[in-house]
Structure 1
């Protein structure tokens, strides 16, 4: 008998015993603004079989329990969450709600996923260029060939942290181009592929 799971877009504040089968399509740690080695929390975006998404949070008291135990692009069965009005959080999806891990939350890896991973929701470059306003906290996926770049620069953030900045230009198959700015560890990840003498085109997903 096939087990029925709740859908992410059906989440509401009327119950706690939600039961999801989802992929983690984005996952990132939130450092303490005064100490980058201290993690204040873990954020992630979950996606179900219908493509519905929701942001999930692990607050600082539970970070040690879950850090390194759940991975991006893996499927899990997850149960029992605290439902939070999205107004109280940074909005990264179009879901009305977000969810927090609690001490009762359970996470079980799915060894043989029952549906394929579709992690990216690409936005066409012309659509982004034509938009009057974009929510600066909503996650947007863009794909294109890197056709230009500037030299990386060292920066000091408003919080006094040292970081790196690198601007690149992406171009799609219709020759539409858009600028993209990378910060921090993302700069270190892409720099080896931007070395001079590279023959193959570099395709970047941002």
Structure 2
């Protein structure tokens, strides 16, 4: 019996058989609103003990076969895939390839303490600020919420989608985050105002958008996730490194304009510094949607 396990970073299409020992660090279903309702997909991010990651996809006709045995956070021994180029418009891993499950793909649950990492890999605010063009790789980010503004709902495929603008503070700088869809439910004013100090937010798989005058982050509907005051080790490490005690963060309060704001070192967040979503739309911008191999990202395309 061959007990050899392959490293995720070594996977290529030029070999037929692969066996990986991996943790499911992210799992999400997708129903494409522009295609036939039956065209559903189940996506995963798999990570091995070396912390290398690869995306895997299960097509509609195989979802029932595999979904009952797959859980986010669990570890598996997996074999027999089709390996294809990872040419997605928006990629959740940097691996050149991704895996497609087949009918004969084997998934065996294993007990393993060797992959405790959450799979999050935070980009620094300096790395984000230095972006001069958009990339197709989605990033993770962590910071303190210092401003929240509800926007008017926007239309998408005949439905109204919630929109919220969030300001996140990290390492002495601030970045704007546009959030659309159900993720906005976590940013309701009454929920955020219950915290005694401005809460910490983890942004998972967010798009970096380069716009006129700066850089913003934006969620990808069905893919991106937000976590408020998460107790994962990476959040604790950020707070320890960030030395939160050295900043005078206040509780989020409503200002005269109806926005949630906080103080950082005694200065109120200035909502005028944040780009308005409606202004982006009206200022020769285009509300567009980009489709990509089974899941969709919504964004504003701003004119130069």
> Where do 1:64-143 residues align within 5 Å?
64-87=64-87, 90-135=90-135, 137-143=136-142
Cα distance in 2, alignment partners of residues 38 and 166 from structure 1: 31
The unaligned stretches of length 5 or more in structure 1 are none
Mean alpha-carbon deviation: is it higher for 111-120 or for 17-26?
Answer: 111-120
Paired residues of 1:12 and 1:97 also in contact (CA < 8 A)? yes
> C-alpha separation between the residues in 2 aligned to 1:168 and 1:114?
36
Distance in 2, matches of 1:26 and 1:76, equals 14
Name the CA shift for 1:34/1:175 in 2 (closer, same or farther; >3 Å).
same
For residues 100 and 190 of structure 2, the distance between their equivalents in structure 1, rounded to whole angstroms, comes to 37
State the Cα distance separating 1:88 from its structure 2 match: 6.5
Distance 2:168 2:159 in 1: 28
| Structure possessing the higher radius of gyration over alpha carbons | 2
How many angstroms apart in 2 are the aligned matches of 1:166 and 1:89?
A: 24
In the alignment, the residues of structure 2 paired with residue 193 and residue 120 of structure 1 have an alpha-carbon distance, to the nearest angstrom, of 28
CA–CA separation in structure 2 for the residues paired with 1:4 and 1:26:
25
Counterpart Cα distance in 2 of 1:50 and 1:167: 36
Report the number of matched residues. Answer: 201
Contact 2:38 2:60 in 1 (8 A): no
For structure 2, the 5+ residue unaligned runs are 204-304
TM-score (normalizing by structure 1)? 0.85
Higher mean alpha-carbon deviation, 146-155 vs 110-119, is at 110-119
* TM superposition shift of 1:67: 3.0
Q: TM-score, normalised by structure 2?
A: 0.60
Distance in 1 between the 2:176 and 2:115 partners? 34
Aligned partners of 2:145 and 2:132: how far apart in 1? 25
Matched, 1:166 2:164: yes
Shift of 1:187: 1.4
Aligned to 1:185: 182
Deviation at 1:181, TM superposition (A): 1.7
* Residue 147 of structure 2 is aligned to residue 148 of structure 1: yes
Stretch deviating more after TM superposition (23-32 or 108-117):
108-117
Q: CA deviation at 1:164?
A: 1.7
Structure 1 residues 69, 192: CA separation in 2 closer, same or farther (over 3 Å shift)? farther
Deviations 1:105-158 (A, max 9, x none): 1212223332322421100011101111231x422010000000102542221x
Distance 1:163 1:88, change over 3 A: closer
Alpha-carbon distance between aligned partners in 1 of 2:197 and 2:38, rounded to the nearest angstrom: 39
Q: CA deviation at 1:34?
A: 4.4
Cα-Cα RMSD: 2.4
User: Is the CA contact (8 Å cut-off) linking 2:43 and 2:57 kept in structure 1?
Assistant: yes
Q: Secondary structure at the match of 2:45?
A: strand
